[in-house]
Chain A
Amino acid sequence: MMTRKILYATVGLALALAACGGPDVARPSGQIDDATVAMERARQANAHEFAAFEMAAAERKLDRARNLADSDEDDERIEARRLAEQVTVDARLAEAKARLAQSEDVKAEMNAAVEALRDSRGGAR
């Protein structure tokens, strides 16, 4: 029957489109929450001090994601989700860089302490 064929074809088309990865157009609340938490972690690691430019850019992106999240346009909500996901990885990188810079400082201090002890021992002998 023709109607049955139409039904199959319609289902097939729907499946085909779904397989291509239909856009997730829900409000990206989870992604914005993740981004907010990641930014807070970065701030606590003093990322503003060690990765100032990256942090400022991420702040702006997160503001924009929040503004677009409630848009009626699918495209804008997708953009909001992507921005939030970017902020999360930006913040993680800024946090990692800040902690790396701090570990460099500690290492330099420790190296100086060991050198000073080596020198004083060398001088005494």
Chain B
Amino acid sequence: MNTRSLWFTLSLAAALGMAGCASQPKENARVAQLANELETLKQDTAVQAHAPGALLDAQEAVERAERAHEDGDRSARDHQIYLAERLLETARVIGQRGQNEAEVSRLAEERDRLALAASRSKVEEAEARARELEAELAALEARRTNRGLMLRLDDVFFKTASASIAPGATSTLDKVTEVLAENPEQRVLIEGHTDAVGTASYNQRLSEQRAEAVKGLLVARGIDAERISTYGYGESRPIASNENEGGRQLNRRVEIVFPDTVQ
């Protein structure tokens, strides 16, 4: 083989090799589709915000697929198309997740806001109930004490040494029943007192029985016994003189305390 023919052969081979590189293949549908999808993702605000790195990886993969196609290397092209398709999908999915997470933090804020409003409205409701109760009981001349509102049952009368309630007008007790029915959370403390006739221990027992008698009336009117406590003070807390019947009548009494329910 002479050198001239060798030179010719090599030149021809080189020319063919170049031709292999330089040939312009017609557009490939899948590669074109990848480029379209890439453009769509670039416009996607969720992808822009949450998946910029994944978008860049996808873009590089699409460019490699385009180059492999231009080089006419089919198996390399198909390989790069595979990679690009998945990287595009990954960017899209990461963008969606980012959008979900943004939505979750927005919802969390709303949940906290609603929970706060709900607890506030509960406190407001309790305060409003307390004001209403106070207004209703004020009409009955209830007095505010450090234990809550205190109401003297001025139409419940007892005879000396008796715990039975004399029949008669019960408008104060009617009103108390009504208030308790309207305020089902409200509890009451019923306190009995006596005059100074008789021994202290006898009067102690008697005062407890008087409180119990009033409790019985409220329960008979439909108030849950669980909401009512009773206590007897005996003759220890007179509000008038025990020297005359008028004073003793005042001392034989029952008082109802409405403890404050709002903390």
Measured CB to CB, the residues of A under 8 A from B are: 2-3, 5-6, 9-10, 12-13, 16-17, 19-21, 82, 85-86, 89-90, 92-93, 96-97, 99-100, 103-104, 106-107, 110-111, 113-114, 117-118, 120-121, 124
Contact = CB atoms under 8 A, between A and B. Distances in A.
Interface in B1-19: 3-4, 6-7, 10-11, 13-14, 17-18
Given A9-B11, A89-B87, A114 B97 contact: no
A10 B3 CA distance: 13
Contact of A103 (B83, B97, B115): B97
A92 B61 CA distance: 14
Contacts, number: 104
Contacts of B121: 121, 124
Interface in B93-126: 93-94, 96-97, 100-101, 103-104, 107-108, 110-111, 114-115, 117-118, 121, 125
Nearest to A113: B111
Given A10-B10, A13-B10, A20-B71, A121 B3 contact: no
Contacts of A85: 79, 83
B7 A9 contact: yes
Nearest to A1: B3
A107 B103 contact: yes
A6 to B, nearest CB: 6
Nearest to A11: B14
B3 A19 contact: no
B13 A13 contact: yes
B93 A96 contact: yes
Nearest to A13: B14
Given A107-B104, A117-B111, A89 B3 contact: no
Given A13-B17, A114-B110, A124-B121, A103 B10 contact: no
A5 B7 contact: yes
A21 B13 contact: no
B230 interface: no
A106 B6 contact: no
Nearest to B16: A16
11 contacts: A2-B4, A3-B3, A16-B18, A19-B21, A20-B17, A90-B86, A96-B90, A96-B97, A103-B97, A107-B104, A110-B107
A68 to B, nearest CB: 14
B79 to A, nearest CB: 5
B120 to A, nearest CB: 11
Contact of B86 (A9, A16, A92): A92
Contacts of B179: none
A25 B66 CA distance: 22
